[in-house]
Amino acid sequence: MAGKHHRYRIKTNKTELKLAADDDEDCPTLPPLPNMSNHPIHSLPVELIAHIFVHSLDTHPNPNLSSRHSPLLFTRICARWRAIALQTPALWSAVSLELYSPVKDSSLHAMLAFWLSHSKEHPLDLYLHYRHRMLDDTISLLAGSADQWTNVDLFVHSTTMASLDTMTQYGRRQESGFCHLRRLSLGIVPVPGSGQSSHLPITCFSQAPLLTEVKLYKIPPCPDSIELPWTQLTSLEVKCSDIHSSLNVLRATPLLTNLHVQIDCPPAGGLWTELVEDNATGEYAHSALKSLSINVHPAALSTAPIRALLRLLPCDLPALESLVLPTLTPDDVSAFTAFVDRANLESLTIALAPLPAEGLCQVFSGKGMKRLRFLELRHAGENTLCALFDKLAGDLQMGEQEVGEGYDQAPAMVFLPSLQSLHVDSFRSAVPYPALLSALRAPGRASPFSFSMTVTAPRRGSVSENTDAVEEVRQLKAKGLKIAVEHLYEGSAI
């Protein structure tokens, strides 16, 4: 069904492009239109009308090429509007094609040729997802517009990328480079069974003086195989199976402030054994990184634990404020606490395996947690949550006793003292309402404080067994405390 839909869309758009390019103002295929020659809008200067056209369309980041939403709409109103639209390059400054099924090369070529010819030399946003092979003529057409590329999202066949890489190097961009390119998203569909995308050399983007944001899909960020202006990048998102390249890229990117890594299912072999045994890869500092996110495919969790991942990271990350990590196990606690103690975390998202109370205390009581304001826990079990809530309430009571009656100052908060927001995804456990209530009622908590939780456990049993505690939590919410408990498929309980 999807293939038929996209083939129909290509056929329809091809027809519309022919209509738009037709010089005959009385094209018989168009419905009769009212005479607009005396309309007040035509008293405006042509430049102002064109400016209105540009601002009336949502052309970024992925414009719709249908005649009802794209610049083609203006070509079907009257001859004057058509002429203005076709002579306004800014209207054609974004191209978006996402095709899942193969189409005739002539149709694809016609669409790109029409759009690119009217964009002229205007900076161009290009969104092209096409998993099938392209003819060299179409690839050459794309390469000819490379000097205009500003924001680019390409997900193409490996043969297309190889040809594009060659053509852009020997085309007109050889002298000027990608002078407008600021953001690049690049993904490659490999030849089945060849794994070609992982080893395909890409060199055409090395000369891009404004490029700062890059996303790579199915392409390891290895400077030896893909040439980018690594030293000027500030944001990098990677999705591949090569964990070494994905984390060691920090060595080549001294200005990087955001790194998001998604590790796919690892290939067969000793990659993860190498990872665990490598002891010296992280002995360097990175002073710019503020946000780090590492997500690992479930198939790799047992062989790529957090303690091994952290070993690949710089030994010193003084600017790190936001951290996302996969499942933390008891064996990872020491390595994790040593790592966060060298950072200045304000936000942490982490999945928790069952941890003993002392392990939980060690994770969240270190000096690296003193500034933590936002905490999101994934897959936390009921026992872990009870221990966490008890710790949030219990440490405060200890602080009150230490302060004594003769002091006017507020009690000291020793466990997560700066925490302002806590979100929990606890899909298989019930909500421990009594423990939650104790934590919420504890005075001295950072203000404002918000709590939210998502569970799949049945709402009826969880609420009916803790009626009094649930009612008190609802009263706290009525007083202005931000609290939300959502049961998937059943709605809100609080």
User: For 386-403, how does the pLDDT look when each residue is reduced to its tens digit (9 = 90+)?
Assistant: 888 888 887 654 444 444
Question: pLDDT class for 26, splitting at 50, 70, 90?
Answer: very low
How far CA 60 is from CA of 74, 97, 138, 434, in Å, comes to: 17, 13, 23, 49
The pLDDT, as a whole number, for residue 395 is: 63
More confident residue, 62 or 111: 111
The pLDDT, as a whole number, for residue 299 is: 74
The pLDDT, as a whole number, for residue 65 is: 53
Q: What mean pLDDT, rounded, does the chain reach?
A: 78
Question: pLDDT class for 488, splitting at 50, 70, 90?
Answer: confident
Between CA 484 and CA 494 the distance in angstroms is 5
The pLDDT, as a whole number, for residue 189 is: 84
Give me the mean pLDDT over the 62-87 stretch.
74
- pTM equals 0.80
More confident residue, 166 or 446: 166
Q: Is residue 329 pLDDT above 90, yes or no?
A: no
More confident residue, 98 or 349: 349
Between CA 63 and CA 127 the distance in angstroms is 9
Between CA 325 and CA 15 the distance in angstroms is 50
Question: pLDDT class for 259, splitting at 50, 70, 90?
Answer: very high
Q: Is residue 24 pLDDT above 60, yes or no?
A: no
Residues in contact with 274: Cβ distance below 8 Å, sequence separation at least 6, in sequence order: 244
Q: Which of 134-138, 184-188, 308-312, 480-484 has the highest mean pLDDT?
A: 184-188
The pLDDT, as a whole number, for residue 455 is: 80
For the stretch 264-279, pLDDT in tens is 865 554 444 445 444 4
The pLDDT, as a whole number, for residue 87 is: 87
How far CA 184 is from CA of 1, 62, 188, 326, in Å, comes to: 31, 14, 13, 27
Q: Is residue 61 pLDDT above 90, yes or no?
A: no
The pLDDT, as a whole number, for residue 31 is: 42
More confident residue, 407 or 193: 193
Give me the mean pLDDT over the 175-202 stretch.
76
The pLDDT, as a whole number, for residue 75 is: 81
The pLDDT, as a whole number, for residue 57 is: 74
More confident residue, 291 or 315: 291
Q: Is residue 446 pLDDT above 70, yes or no?
A: no
The pLDDT, as a whole number, for residue 277 is: 42
Q: Is 201 left (phi over 0), alpha (psi -120 to 50) or beta?
A: beta
Question: pLDDT class for 36, splitting at 50, 70, 90?
Answer: low
The pLDDT, as a whole number, for residue 182 is: 95
Between CA 35 and CA 457 the distance in angstroms is 65
Question: pLDDT class for 454, splitting at 50, 70, 90?
Answer: confident
Q: Is residue 263 pLDDT above 50, yes or no?
A: yes
Which tokens in the block code for residue 88? Answer: 């306004």
More confident residue, 115 or 60: 115
